[in-house]
Homo-oligomer: A and B are copies of this chain.
Amino acid sequence: MAKGFRSDLSRRERQIMDILYRQGRASAAEVLAGLPDPPGYSAVRALLRILEEKGHVRHEGEGKRYVYLPMQPRQNAAQSALRQVLHTFFGGSIENAVATLLSDQDTQLSEEELARLADLIDQAREGEKQP
Residues of A within 8 A of B (CB): 4, 7-11, 14-15, 18, 21-22, 36, 74-75, 77-79, 81-90, 92, 94-95, 97-102, 104, 106-107, 109-111, 113-118, 120-122, 124-125, 128-129
Contact = CB atoms under 8 A, between A and B. Distances in A.
Contacts of A104: 79, 82-83
Given A94-B107, A98-B117, A125-B111, A89 B83 contact: no
Contact of A114 (B10, B18, B107, B121): B121
Copies of this protein in the assembly total 2
A95 B98 CA distance: 10
17 contacts: A7-B36, A10-B10, A21-B89, A75-B100, A77-B89, A78-B85, A79-B100, A82-B104, A92-B107, A94-B107, A94-B113, A95-B117, A102-B120, A109-B124, A111-B129, A118-B121, A121-B121
